[in-house]
Structure 1
Amino acid sequence: MPARSWVGSAVDRFLLRRSWHRWAEAQALLHALSPDLGVVECCRRALAEMARAMQFRGAAVLLAGGETVVHGPFRVKPLERVWPRDATALPHNAFGLGRFRELPLPLRDALIEADVVAVAPVASPRGHWGHLFVTTDLLGASFSDRDDEGLDAVANQLALVLDAA
């Protein structure tokens, strides 16, 4: 329905202050990020830029190697306790609150306890680096399909940077 799409775009842009160009801003930083900084520093900078551009309250990456990188207020401990670092059984693209119910109960509970609104795998054709988690304030809790696509694009680009790190 064209009206629904228009209303959704207007809510994203004016109420939530999000738009597709903000995702492009976050991706642009990743294109300029030097792999020489190393995996953890690349993740730290990517999270900071994504949170700034998208006005997220916090973000985190749980790396497959066991490291955790956090930006902003983010309760990461519940996720560190239960999130599988090898992600073969998890969805292969970004997913939000609506798909949390498909996960095993311990994972779902950890996501809820950490106030996560969306998750994206950080993966490239070369391999799986980990998962990216975002949290928002109450207004930003509405995460659209376009936001899932944007989060996927940022996570995929981050994975390519990490491949070269």
Structure 2
Amino acid sequence: MGNNKETKNHWILIVTVSTIILASFFSFTSESILKNLNIYFAFLTLIAIIGIGVIFDIIGVASAVSDEKAFHAMAAKKVEIARYCLFITKNASKVSSFCSDVIGDIAGIVSGAAGTIIVLSLIERHGFVSGSLMSVFMSSVIAGLTVGGKALGKDLAINKSKTIVMTAARFLRQIHKIIKFRV
């Protein structure tokens, strides 16, 4: 029992530290990029940040609902990607937590900050005077796109979980080639 508690505490520490590092990196990067972009590219960047959050939420849900049996059958046939699919499904709670909570929440926070930068840019560069109204509008649009995208994504993740896990596994395999980790 103690070993399981240590493992859980270790995972919580990893998630916490990785969230701090990733959030710092993405916040700094997006702020640096957005301040220098014209407003149209800033909006496209904002949409991309929201999209990343939605995509990772889809992966998180798909990993949690996917059935391992299909991947065991693939592994028995020596299909290389099956090993990565099984890694995702056997670690579904961690994958789901990382994708939905860590990346998804970071994307939500960064998209909010990006929206603020865009509003400030519109006020500064284009002389818009109603900052409060623009801020409320921007927050509402960000929330709507995020929640709507995740709602649409959850249905997709549940109905196409095998395909999504396989796609995530291919991506994971590419990362594995660069950063060696235990699969």
TM-score, scaled relative to structure 2: 0.31
TM-score, scaled relative to structure 1: 0.33
Q: Relative contact order (C-alpha < 8 Å, sep 6+): which is higher?
A: 2
Which one has the bigger strand percentage? 1
Which one has the bigger helix percentage? 2
If you compute each CA radius of gyration, which structure gives the higher value, 1 or 2?
A: 2
